[in-house]
Structure 1
Amino acid sequence: MNIWVLCIGFAVAVLAIFTVRIAAQWERIIILRFGSFHRVAGPGLYFTIPFVEHIALRADQRVMLTGFSAEETLTSDLVPVNVDAAVFWMVWDAEKACMEVENYYDAVSMAAQTALRDAIGRKSISDVTVHRDKLDQELRDKIEEKASTWGVSVISVEIRDIVIPKELQRDMAAAAKAEREKDARIVLAEVEKDVAAMLLEATEVYRKDEMAFELRSMHLLSEGVKESSGTLVIPSAYSEGFKREKPAKE
């Protein structure tokens, strides 16, 4: 009797080992029955039938990070660049991730690398280096277009580093400096134009009003004396010009 109890207990223990399973909070388990898709299990406790059901995939639904790069890739203006980037993605449909692609992790990595090379080949070196945000969005859309059929959602793509030849870096720095000098000259020319217009307006005022012109002259003399810490002596005859003639009484 004891032997039968031990045998039954041993059989139950073995059955429990192959039947009772636990999935983590972030896991989804793809279970096949006789080779065909049956259900998605998890998280928590789930059961499988030995020799009838088996686990095809344990899909991790946390946000994943995959780094990828494009080395010695030519831009549209034939400049070789090395670009490093990273894509953030997650599995939203575990069934598709199992049934539609052999290895969804490798597939995402390859799709990202292909999209990066294609995007660089259609852009100039200035577009690649200056408009990184647009390149990030373009890559995200391209990768999402392919990965969505595998049950994968692309959260974002970020360009980490762009390396261009050193001789081209010097040329780009010189071009940027020339562009800044050009902008500065344009601003200076606009300021001089405004100043000239104001001087022309002031000249017209002084031409019509001699007293205003004399007051301005005295102000300039006073400012010059202040800067040189000198003394300004004004002849009494000079002040007579400011006296206005009183109207004659009838």
Structure 2
Amino acid sequence: MPARRRKAFQVVPDANTEIVGERASNAGVLLFSVVVFVVSFCVVLAASWLLTGGIGVVGVVCALVLAALATMSVHIAQQWEKVVVLRLGRFNRVSGPGLFWTLPVIEQNTMRVDGRVRVTTFGAEETLTADLVPLDVNAVLFWHVWDAKAACTEVGDFTRAVELAAQTALRDAIGRAGAAEVAIRREQLDRELKRALEEKVAPWGITVLSVEVRDILLPKELQEVMSLEAQAEQRKKARIILMEAEQDICEMMDDMGDTYAKNDAALRLRAMHLLYESVRETGGTVVVPSSFSEGFGDVLGDHAKDVLGGAAGK
């Protein structure tokens, strides 16, 4: 199988976010265990010295054994941790947070579960859509463990199981939709993934808070085609708007034509207004014949007629 094809089936989890809580709590737990061991060892040695008047090999051995048993009995869990306790291989209880006790040898702390919200990144490369277009999709999953017992006893590695379930759900969702639908309807894809994952991981004591698609990468050839399609759609909308504007103008001109047909003076005034607007911005000069002013005598009066005639003569 080619390297690129193998890569398409890989999950890309953010491993650092999965175990930060467990690693952060180890130092405190280790220090507490050391303190319990030292205190227990010293107490047993002191008791042996008081009873026998000295410290022998037997006293040291007893002190070591009892200190080890005391260390195995006393535990501490951080605020965000739940500890699954098994008794002789069977589930007994979930302890924590804080200080708790177990019976040495008989009970074991099987798993420390971080109950905080976890972030897992996953993706699917070259996944075929319903119209056979390969897509590269990356998403983020927010989830947390609400039932430590189910997470410990129902699935072997719940973190890995959630990652694989998320990737499978993403590939299935992409395969049921077309490329354009996947690229445009991200929110619908998020809801579909969340619903599918909730049904899958609920028996494992896990709750899916949200799924967010980050990147959808289309093939370059398809990007160019979709760009041309979008440009054609915009041109279509622009032409429709222009035609609607021309239709409105035509209706307005029709009304204006009826008005000017009934009033010759208004038509001549409109002609003068258009002539003025044509030279107002540029500051040009328009030369008109003197007979042009004769049509405004009945509108502007004799004085204005003389002025227009004199201006035209110049």
TM-score computed with the length of structure 2 as normaliser: 0.72
Is contact 2:122–2:138 with CA below 8 Å preserved after alignment? yes
Q: Which residue of 1 aligns with 2:151?
A: 97
Q: Secondary structure at the match of 2:131?
A: coil
**Aligned partner of 1:152 among 197, 206, 210:** 206
Write out aligned runs for 1:34-73 (5 A).
Answer: 34-73=88-127
Q: Secondary structure at the match of 1:217?
A: helix
Q: Does 1:138 align with 2:192?
A: yes
Identify if the C-alpha distance between structure 1 residues 10 and 228 changes in structure 2 by more than 3 Å, giving closer, same or farther: closer
Is contact 1:225–1:232 with CA below 8 Å preserved after alignment? no
Q: Secondary structure at the match of 2:281?
A: helix
Q: Which residue of 1 aligns with 2:296?
A: 239
Cα distance in 2 between the residues matched to 1:236 and 1:170: 61
Is contact 1:222–1:232 with CA below 8 Å preserved after alignment? no
- The one-letter code matched in structure 1 to 2:93 is R
Task: Name the structure with the higher strand share.
Answer: 1
Moved more, 163-172 or 177-186: 163-172
Cα distance in 2 between the residues matched to 1:242 and 1:13: 120
**Aligned partner of 2:217 among 133, 152, 163:** 163
- The one-letter code matched in structure 2 to 1:240 is G
Q: Which residue of 2 aligns with 1:84?
A: 138
The CA deviation at 1:49 is 0.7
Superposition RMSD on alpha carbons, in Å? 2.2
Write out aligned runs for 1:192-231 (5 A).
Answer: 192-229=246-283, 230=285
Cα distance in 1 between the residues matched to 2:260 and 2:300: 18
The CA deviation at 1:165 is 2.2
- The one-letter code matched in structure 2 to 1:161 is D
Cα distance in 1 between the residues matched to 2:213 and 2:85: 38
Is contact 2:115–2:144 with CA below 8 Å preserved after alignment? yes
Moved more, 30-39 or 234-243: 234-243
The CA deviation at 1:151 is 1.1
Q: Secondary structure at the match of 2:177?
A: coil
Q: Deviations over 1:136-155 (max 9, x none)?
A: 12111111111122111111
Is contact 2:268–2:296 with CA below 8 Å preserved after alignment? no
Q: Secondary structure at the match of 1:214?
A: helix
- The one-letter code matched in structure 1 to 2:173 is A
Unaligned runs of 5+ in 1: 245-250
TM-score computed with the length of structure 1 as normaliser: 0.89
Q: Which residue of 2 aligns with 1:112?
A: 166
Q: Secondary structure at the match of 2:123?
A: strand
Identity between Structure 1 and Structure 2 (%): 47
Cα distance in 2 between the residues matched to 1:87 and 1:228: 64
Unaligned runs of 5+ in 2: 1-51, 302-314
Is contact 1:27–1:61 with CA below 8 Å preserved after alignment? yes
The CA deviation at 1:87 is 0.8
The CA deviation at 1:76 is 0.4
- The one-letter code matched in structure 2 to 1:126 is A
The CA deviation at 1:93 is 1.5
- The one-letter code matched in structure 2 to 1:29 is V
- The one-letter code matched in structure 1 to 2:236 is K
Q: Which residue of 2 aligns with 1:180?
A: 234
The CA deviation at 1:28 is 0.5
Cα distance in 1 between the residues matched to 2:227 and 2:296: 61
Cα distance in 1 between the residues matched to 2:272 and 2:123: 72
- The one-letter code matched in structure 2 to 1:82 is D
Moved more, 159-168 or 229-238: 229-238
**Aligned partner of 2:84 among 18, 23, 30:** 30
Larger radius of gyration: 2
- The one-letter code matched in structure 2 to 1:123 is A
Q: Which residue of 2 aligns with 1:247?
A: none
Moved more, 117-126 or 153-162: 153-162
